[in-house]
């Protein structure tokens, strides 16, 4: 899935992610998305959040982010005042949960790059889930090894993991781009070159495709400037 000048190109992955997010938003389900890098996961999640800005809070996880900072980030997305992330974790979770509940409408929490957290984070997330179950769905998105990681935690009976794993309603795996999607994205960049399209047939992900397109356009731009220089000299 690719975004070009704020226009989102429709792909199978985009449709799949939107369906997962809609299910969580409407039915308060907790769903998970697994995707290899470059499959359009983050762009699709951001696009969904833009469509429902009053109902969706999206947090991207960083390796240096502590659980307290995570919940303070949630709080800051909805509250007018900034939250002290030095308060105890339980209070951070409860205050963030109360904000969701007090919205008085269906809400959705999107957690991107969740595989950067260890199993203890998901044990705390279960507390947030229990406090907001009446009006809030959750979508957890991570790498293509996300489910395998959860299964290992569950088998080892890491703290609370079997219970948390069993509460995930559905797992959605994303796929590499099809050739039709590759062609659609190339043409959306105003490139109409059959040879170039054929050379991109084996592209493995949307990020790789964007890099190839950027390189192609840069070469064409240089060629155009060189031709103009030769004509005007």
Taking the alpha carbons at both ends of the chain, their separation in whole angstroms is 43
Structure confidence at residue 81 (pLDDT): 65
Structure confidence at residue 39 (pLDDT): 94
Is residue 91 domain-shared with residue 27, that is, in the same domain?
Answer: yes
Is residue 91 domain-shared with residue 109, that is, in the same domain?
Answer: yes
Which of 173, 192, 212 marks a domain boundary? 173
Structure confidence at residue 37 (pLDDT): 92
Is residue 18 domain-shared with residue 105, that is, in the same domain?
Answer: yes
Q: Domain count of the chain?
A: 2
Which of 173, 192, 220 marks a domain boundary? 173
Is residue 79 domain-shared with residue 110, that is, in the same domain?
Answer: yes
Which of 157, 173, 189 marks a domain boundary? 173
95 burial type by CB count under 10 A (0-12 exposed, 13-18 middle, 19+ buried): middle
Structure confidence at residue 64 (pLDDT): 86
CATH of the domain at 66: 3.40.50.300
Structure confidence at residue 6 (pLDDT): 47
Structure confidence at residue 67 (pLDDT): 87
Q: Which residues of 129-162 are buried (b: 16+ CB within 10 A; e: fewer)?
A: bebbeebbbbbbbbbeebbebbeebbeeebebbe
Is residue 144 domain-shared with residue 187, that is, in the same domain?
Answer: no
Is residue 154 domain-shared with residue 105, that is, in the same domain?
Answer: yes
Is residue 60 domain-shared with residue 157, that is, in the same domain?
Answer: yes
Q: Report, as ranges of residue numbers, the positions in the chain whose pLDDT lies below 70.
A: 1-8, 80-85, 231-233
Residue 185: give the domain boundaries.
179-232
Is residue 139 domain-shared with residue 184, that is, in the same domain?
Answer: no
Is residue 166 domain-shared with residue 191, that is, in the same domain?
Answer: no
Is residue 169 domain-shared with residue 66, that is, in the same domain?
Answer: yes
Structure confidence at residue 200 (pLDDT): 95
Structure confidence at residue 137 (pLDDT): 97
Q: What is the 3-state secondary structure (H, E, C) of the chain?
A: CCEECCEECCCHHHHHHHHHHHHHHHHCCEEEEECCCCCCHHHHHHHHHHHCCCCEEEEECCCCCCHHHHHHHHHHHHCCCCCCCCCCHHHHHHHHHHHHHCCCCCEEEEEECHHHCCHHHHHHHHHHHHHHCCCEEEEEEECCCHHHHHHHHHHCCCCCHHHHHHCCCEEEECCCCCHHHHHHHHHHCCCCCHHHHHHCCCCCCHHHHHHHHHHHHHHHHHHHHHHHHHHHC
Q: Is pTM, for the whole model, over 0.85? A: yes
Is residue 158 domain-shared with residue 194, that is, in the same domain?
Answer: no
Is residue 218 domain-shared with residue 154, that is, in the same domain?
Answer: no
Structure confidence at residue 23 (pLDDT): 97
């Amino acid at each position: 899935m690719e975004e070009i000048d704020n226009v989102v190109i429709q792909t199978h992955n985009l449709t799949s992610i939107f369906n997962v997010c809609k299910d969580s938003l409407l039915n308060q389900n907790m769903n998970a998305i697994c995707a290899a890098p470059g499959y359009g996961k983050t762009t699709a999640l951001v696009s969904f959040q833009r469509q429902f800005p009053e109902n969706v809070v999206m947090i991207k996880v960083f390796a240096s982010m502590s659980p307290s900072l995570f919940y303070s980030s949630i709080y800051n997305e909805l509250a007018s005042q900034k939250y002290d992330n030095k308060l105890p974790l339980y209070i951070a979770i409860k205050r963030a949960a109360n904000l969701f509940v007090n919205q008085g409408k269906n809400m959705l929490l999107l957690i991107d790059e969740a595989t950067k957290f260890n199993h203890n984070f998901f044990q705390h997330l279960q507390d947030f889930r229990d406090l907001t179950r009446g009006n809030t769905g959750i979508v957890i998105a991570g790498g293509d090894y996300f489910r395998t990681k959860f299964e290992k935690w569950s088998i080892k009976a890491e703290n609370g993991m079997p219970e948390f794993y069993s509460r995930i309603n559905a797992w959605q795996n994303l796929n590499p781009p099809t050739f039709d999607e590759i062609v659609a994205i190339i043409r959306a960049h105003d490139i109409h070159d059959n040879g170039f399209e054929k050379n991109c047939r084996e592209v493995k992900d949307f990020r790789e495709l964007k890099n190839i397109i950027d390189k192609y356009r840069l070469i064409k731009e240089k060629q155009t400037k060189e031709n103009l220089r030769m004509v005007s000299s």
